[in-house]
Amino acid sequence: MHGLMLRSLQGYLRDTFGQAVWTEIAHESALPVETFEPMLRYDPMLVDRVTQAAAKVLARPAATVWEDLGTYIVTNPQYEAVRRLLRFGGVNFAEFLHSLEELPGRARLAIPDQQVPDLALQELAPDRFLLTCRFEIRGVSLILLGMMRAMADDYGALIVIELDRRPQEDFMTIHLLDARHAAARPFQLAVDER
């Protein structure tokens, strides 16, 4: 999972800010490699170094960098397969939230040798949910936060999310204010072959 996160972060930074900015971040974090291999496991400290270097070069908080990566993964056409996988979870945002607990199992099927975050959802009320995320790299919950916001937009839902970060696990409280706030992005189960 470390390699996949680092490769995604590298792609986001290069696509959004350009190769020169990525080169500066790579130099600042003293990367031992030119590019990350998605299936390799890297030292978690390397993830922290790259994140801190990106925050310094971009002059924004590290948390914002991770959250923006989550939004990028859902909204960038290069990652359409990820969006499709997430949308496959339900016809509305509440159903999508309930499908999140299945994601780690699906990820383990696709990448069996990789550690994946543990997710647990609790429905506090029909419009209020608590999502728990456990993983050794703290940026995962922030990526998930960005993905949640982007998926709410994708479904046309209006939500408020609060993130409570703790040493062993992170908690995300999601309040679904309006399930049909705006028009949802078009979604078809079958891929258009044109």
Look over the chain and give the mean of its residue pLDDT values, rounded to a whole number.
87
β-pair partners for 170:
133, 165
Residue 47, pLDDT above cutoff 70? yes
* Residue 118 belongs to a domain: yes
Residues 155 and 109 in one domain: yes
The pLDDT tens digits of the residues spanning 84-98 come to 888 888 889 999 999
Higher pLDDT, 91 or 136: 91
pTM: 0.88
Q: Is residue 76 part of a domain?
A: no
More confident: 134 or 18: 18
For residues 61-81, give the mean pLDDT. 92
Give the mean pLDDT of 137-160: 91
Do the beta carbons of residue 26 and residue 49 sit within 8 Å?
no
Among 40, 60, 80, give the residue marking a domain's end.
60
Task: Please give the pLDDT value at position 52.
Answer: 95
Domain that holds residue 39: 2-60
Q: What percent of the chain has pLDDT over 90?
A: 54
The span from the CA of 43 to the CA of 25, in Å, is 17
Give me the pLDDT at residue 83, please.
85
Residue 188 has pLDDT above 90, yes or no: no
167: exposed, middle or buried (Cβ count in 10 Å: 0-12, 13-18, 19+): exposed
Give the number of domains in the chain: 2
Q: Residue range 139-149: average pLDDT? A: 91
Same domain, 34 and 110: no
pLDDT, residue 1, reads: 57
What pLDDT, on the 0 to 100 scale, is given for residue 194? 56
Whether 192 shows a pLDDT value over 70: the answer reads no
Whole-number pLDDT of residue 139: 77
Name the pLDDT band for 112 (thresholds 50, 70, 90): low
Residue 192 falls inside a structural domain: no
Domain holding 126: CATH number? 3.90.1520.10
DSSP for 43-85 reads -HHHHHHHHHHHHHHHTS-HHHHHHHHHHHHHH-GGGHHHHHH
